[in-house]
Amino acid sequence: MTDTNQTTEAAATEAPAPAKIAMEIGDILKILPHRYPFLLIDRVLELVRMKSIVALKNVTITEPFFQGHFPDKPIMPGVLIVEAIAQAGGLLLLTEVPNRDEMLMVFTGIEKARFRRPVVPGDQLRIEVVVKAWRVTAARLEGKAYVDGKVAAEATVTCRLVPRAMGAGSAEAEENL
Which residues are annotated as catalytic? 69
CA distance 59 to 40: 9
* Residue 112 Ramachandran class (φ > 0 left, ψ -120 to 50 alpha, else beta): left
- φ, ψ at 99 (rounded to 5°): -105, 40
Do you know the residue count of the chain? Answer: 177
- The rounded distance, in Å, linking the Cα atoms of 67 and 93 is 32
